[in-house]
Amino acid sequence: MSQNTPPSLTRLRRLALPLLLLLGTLLVAGGLFWHAREQGLAQIRQDAEASLGRYIINLRHQLARHRDLPRLLAAQQQLKALLTDPHNARKTDAANRYLAWVNATMGATDSYLINSNGLTLAASNWDHPRPFIGNDYSFRPYFQQAMEGGQGRYFALGNTSRVRGYFFSAPVREADQIIGVTVVKVDLEDIEDSWNDALQDILVMDEDGVIFISTRHDWRFRLLPQTGALTPAPQLLARIEASRRYENAEVRPLPLQHRAMTARGNQLLTLDGQDAAGHYLLVSELLPEAGMRVAVLANLSPLKSRIARTLITGLGAFWASVALLLFLRARHRMKLRHERELQQAHATLERRVEQRTQQLTDSNRRLKQEVEQHRQTQNQLVQAAKLAVLGQLSAGINHELNQPLTAIRQFADNARKLLERGRIEAAAGNLEEIGGLAQRMAAILQPLREFARQRDAGGAQTRLEQLRRGVMVLMGGELEKRQAVLHWPTTHDALAVTGDPGRLEQVLVNLIGNALQAMAGEPEPRIDINVSTSAGRVIIAVRDHGPGLSEQVLAHIFEPFFTTKSTGLGLGLSISHRIAESLDGELTAANHPQGGAVFTLVLNRADKEPA
């Protein structure tokens, strides 16, 4: 250190390393915390979504078993007979026993018949201590929905039984008049008893956010507003009480202390209460057909231990790396000091040797650099030539001959089966297709050789109908394998474009194949091909419904050997682009405004447009 260095600068240098270490520790800790939190939330959300899906399937299955039962009951004559003669004791007894038999057979909780005034005339529990007969249910929405001609669905606490249930209803018609309502009640309580995950709670809420099914018994009839304030509005509580849906049950809000949203749109809830304390991730799905929302409330307690483990492991590795670097730095500084002392002891000798050998050293270095540059240039040229030849051969064979060979094999198998069945004419048709494919393969090889020499198509013409049939023969198997839909309207099949079928099929097969690869993993892949004309040109647009193309990919997509796939040489689009240019056309790529990528092939029109 220089003797002229100010003391303040010396102190600053001494403090620099500790400050850098502290800053690095904070940055690493922050990054580890964020990463562990996001990964932990993603895993908890994935588990919660899987549990939610399983529960919804089970719930829908339970409801679907009894969904159409009220409509079947509404068609029974013994029930209609009681509605037309409600004071007949014999008909009342027959209706009661029939409803009890149906209830026991179908596994429903209760079944009953209501007249047009809302009064219960017959019920499956007619012989129970508290039957429904004589009760007025005109205030229930399921009764009102059925009297309006629809099928009612409603969840409520039983007015008589005090048992939670889901109600299905249907109108009873006689001579185009609604004379009553049939109702089936399903008990959903056994669903929540089968859940055994200590870190996940199942909630089923109505449209107001009232929890009527929960794996926590003390959460039943608690209120969880879907959005907005932490506490429900007084108007909401008043409406719930006025509906008499949970009559005599105290509807209280959950002790919601904090609510936040994740980037995926899920809610993070903090509950503060004796029966609901903790932090939770809420994953929910609306079931509009049932008028309910099903949710999984996943406990976030495992997230803390995961973050702690990540911080301990990450910071331990960070400080171990820092200690190793400091040790290597100290060792390096010691080595440098010893080297300086040795250099000072032999400075004179080294200076003389350096002066005598400098010229030779410089000459040798320049010679080695020139030799190395020539060797690298030669290797690059050889490798580029190999890649060019290999790329053209593999691209041509892979894109053009593999699929026709597959089609020939399929036609041959079909012809053999047809000959075994004695269908000679049908077999002959398959053999003609095989011959056509063989001619096409020969035609493919010839344009590829001509294309390598940069010759034009020689005035060949191709009708779009012929082009579409050829492409479907080559790509039909792959489309069926991937369960993809190719929408190619036949409106412009009569148009003809300049260019031989082999080259045009090569371009379209490559574009369709790339579209299928771009939609890998999509549940319903779809490719749309749109054909239009403009000023003597035919425009063929191939659109996929995948993720689209980035700006970097669009800038280099037609360059040779550029590819975003893990396999392949990246020559397909480059060759297709050169084919389009050789036909005095063009091939461009862009992103569709509604999503996905669209490749536009513009060709010269061979036939004349009508005047």
Neighbours of 295 (CB within 10 A): 25
Residues 373-387, mean pLDDT to the nearest whole number:
46
Note the pLDDT of residue 227. 61
Max avg pLDDT among 95-104, 254-263, 288-297: 95-104
Q: Hey, CA dihedral for 25, 26, 27, 33, is it positive or negative?
A: positive
Confidence class for position 385, pLDDT limits 50, 70, 90 = very low
Q: Which of 124-128, 219-223, 446-450 has the lowest mean pLDDT?
A: 446-450
Confidence class for position 351, pLDDT limits 50, 70, 90 = confident
Note the pLDDT of residue 275. 59
Note the pLDDT of residue 570. 63
In terms of pTM, does the model score above 0.75?
no
Note the pLDDT of residue 317. 86
Whole-angstrom CA distances from 466 to 64, 541, 599, 601 are 50, 17, 21, 17
The answer to whether the beta carbons of residues 269 and 282 sit under 8 Å apart is yes
Note the pLDDT of residue 190. 64
Residues 158-164, mean pLDDT to the nearest whole number:
67
- Reference 429, options 419, 441, 415, 439; nearest CA is 415
* H or E element at residue 110: strand 110-115
pLDDT > 90: percent of the chain = 16
pLDDT of 229 strictly over 70: no
Residue with tokens 């008589």: 160
- SS3 of 200-248: the string is EEEEEECCCCEEEEECCHHHCCEECCCCCCCCCCHHHHHHHHHCCCCCC
Q: Which of 18-32, 97-111, 246-260, 413-427 has the lowest mean pLDDT?
A: 246-260
Spatial distance between the Cα atoms of 392 and 398, rounded to a whole number of angstroms: 10
Max avg pLDDT among 275-284, 367-376, 548-557: 548-557
Residues 567-593, mean pLDDT to the nearest whole number:
83
Residues 126-144, mean pLDDT to the nearest whole number:
89
Q: Which domains does the chain have, with CATH numbers?
A: 25-232+239-325 (3.30.450.20), 461-604 (3.30.565.10)
Neighbours of 86 (CB within 10 A): 16
Supply 78's token pair: 């013994």
pLDDT digits (tens, 9 = 90+) for 489-534: 988 888 999 988 878 888 898 899 888 988 888 888 999 999 999 8
Note the pLDDT of residue 10. 67
Residues 48-74, mean pLDDT to the nearest whole number:
83
Note the pLDDT of residue 451. 41
Note the pLDDT of residue 231. 61
pLDDT digits (tens, 9 = 90+) for 168-187: 999 999 888 999 999 998 87
The answer to whether the beta carbons of residues 407 and 437 sit under 8 Å apart is yes
The answer to whether the beta carbons of residues 525 and 484 sit under 8 Å apart is yes
